[in-house]
Amino acid sequence: MKVLALDTSNQPLSVAVMKDHQVLATTTVTTTKKHAAHLLPIINASMKAAQFEPEDLDRVIVADGPGSYTGIRVSVTAAKTLAETLHIELVGVSSLATIAANVPVEGQLVAVLFDGRNDNVFAGVYRIKNGAPENVIADQHIAFEKLLPQIKKLGEPVVVLGDLAAFKTRLDSQLKEHFISYPQENSLPSAVQLGRLGESLKPVTDINAFVPRYLRLTKAEADWQRQHPKEDNRDYVEKV
């Protein structure tokens, strides 16, 4: 299977071209803030390096969130447009699971945190099973202070990856010897891990309906739903 994997869900941008689990080309850039400008040129260069034409692809795999809303939309838009217009398969993988997959230790608990501001995190906790992360605590947007006791309750050593700056002190004092930190590069998303996870997943059945997993409503939408609990909140867009 010929695969293109894309992740622009946070500051790093990562692209990989793979064939039957073998990496043919991969690029990860941590310095760009312009994912929209750089994603297609990097896809183009990676595909050329792998000597693939777009129509050679069998599957596109995309890290579909959580993460920066604008960031995830860049690669999800590219991925769904490639898949729909080339009639190839599309697979979405959690951006948190993609990072958890950096840990190659079977049975290990791994927590991944993205800073969601105001002491909130986008987070998921996984156990590495048959080489792939499986959710132990579902991916969610949650106050860090609510998540921490849940991790503590697991009562096992846990590798914590992601944006740790604001949380390290509390992880240390609460989890004590159960808090395992890895060198920083293990918190970088790798499209190679993404591709590896996505190769064995089932493709989405409705590519047009595929959207990022934001894990959080916009403020406007959340306020509106609170004020209108009974309204059906779909069908707001109509083709005219």
Is residue 11 a contact residue for other proteins (CB under 8 A)? no
Is residue 74 a contact residue for other proteins (CB under 8 A)? yes
The beta-carbon contacts of 205-211 under 8 Å, at least 24 apart in sequence, are 207/80, 207/83, 207/84, 207/90, 208/80, 208/84, 210/64, 210/76, 210/80, 210/90, 210/92, 211/76
Pick 57 or 103: Cβ nearer other proteins: 57
For 149-181, give one letter per residue: b (16+ CB within 10 A) or e.
eebeebeeebbbbbbbeebeeebeeebeebbbe
Of residues 9, 18, 38, 148, which one binds other proteins by CB under 8 A?
Answer: 38
Is residue 204 a contact residue for other proteins (CB under 8 A)? no
Pick the piece of the chain touching other proteins (CB under 8 A) from 73-81, 100-108, 135-143, 156-164.
73-81
Amino acid at 122: F
Pick 184 or 208: Cβ nearer other proteins: 208
Pick the piece of the chain touching other proteins (CB under 8 A) from 19-27, 113-121, 190-198, 207-215.
207-215
Distance CA 147, CA 133 (A): 19
Is residue 73 a contact residue for other proteins (CB under 8 A)? yes
Is residue 36 a contact residue for other proteins (CB under 8 A)? yes
Distance CA 145, CA 28 (A): 32
Residues 209-238, mask of contacts with other proteins (x by CB under 8 A): x-xx-x---x-xx--x----------xxxx
Is residue 51 a contact residue for other proteins (CB under 8 A)? no
Cis status of the peptide bond prior to 104, with omega within 30 of 0: no
Q: Are 3 and 82 in contact (CB under 8 A)?
A: no
For the chain, how big is the Rg over CA atoms in Å? 18
Task: Give backbone dihedrals phi and psi of 111, rounded to 5 degrees, phi first.
Answer: -105, 135
Residues 78-117, mask of contacts with other proteins (x by CB under 8 A): x-xxx-xxx-------------------------------
Q: Are 65 and 6 in contact (CB under 8 A)?
A: no
Is residue 39 a contact residue for other proteins (CB under 8 A)? yes
Q: Return residues touching other proteins (CB under 8 A).
A: 34, 36-41, 43-44, 54-55, 69-70, 73-74, 76-78, 80-82, 84-86, 207-209, 211-212, 214, 218, 220-221, 224, 235-240
